[in-house]
């Protein structure tokens, strides 16, 4: 997590949780990797350690990370697959209807969308391909 700014629309603990989720999905954090310590994250972002702990606890409750007493918190096996499944469902249920309505409102068709996506690929953005973005360092 290199961006230290917080969004006022969500609690900070939820934003911390979402950043860890994004890092798992992007492959920055892999199965078995340790999470940065609560104290480290709290000091780096100047937030209360209880805020960090609450964000981490959500990850534990979702079975994405496990606590190893005396050693820290680690990404669970299968966490990325579990996240992909739930995030895809969330996207299709919450975001896609809005995007689809916007596409229809603008009168765009499938051919135009695919052509645009193809142009972005040739511009080097990697959009629409299976290429992963460059990995960030393993830092919240």
Domain segments of the chain as ranges: 12-75, 79-122
pLDDT of residue 123: 56
Per-position DSSP letters for 43-62, written without gaps between them: HHHT--HHHHHHHHHHHHHT
Residue 74 CB partners (closer than 8 Å, separation 6+) = 32, 33, 34, 35, 65, 66, 68
What are the φ/ψ torsions at residue 45 (nearest 5 degrees)?
A: -100, 0
CATH of 12-75, one of 3.30.70.1400, 2.60.40.650, 3.40.50.300, 1.10.10.10: 1.10.10.10
CB-based burial, 95-122: b 16+ in 10 Å, e otherwise: eeeeeeeeeeeeeeeeeeeeeeeeeeee
Tell me the mean pLDDT per 10 residues along the chain, length 140: 75 95 95 95 95 97 94 95 93 94 91 85 51 56
pLDDT of residue 129: 46
Question: What pTM did the predictor assign?
Answer: 0.71
pLDDT of residue 45: 92
């Amino acid at each position: 997590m290199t961006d230290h700014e917080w969004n006022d629309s969500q609690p900070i603990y939820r934003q911390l949780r979402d950043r860890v989720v994004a890092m798992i999905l992007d492959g920055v954090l892999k199965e078995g990797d340790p999470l940065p310590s609560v104290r480290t994250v709290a000091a780096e972002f100047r937030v209360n350690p209880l805020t960090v702990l609450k964000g981490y606890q959500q990850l534990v409750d979702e079975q994405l990370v496990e606590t190893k007493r005396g050693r820290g918190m680690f990404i669970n096996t299968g966490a990325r697959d579990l996240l992909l499944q739930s995030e895809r469902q969330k996207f299709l249920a919450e975001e896609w209807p809005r995007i689809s309505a916007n596409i229809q409102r603008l009168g765009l068709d499938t051919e135009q969308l695919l052509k645009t996506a193809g142009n972005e690929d040739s511009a080097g953005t990697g959009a629409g391909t299976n290429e992963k973005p460059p990995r960030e360092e393993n830092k919240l």
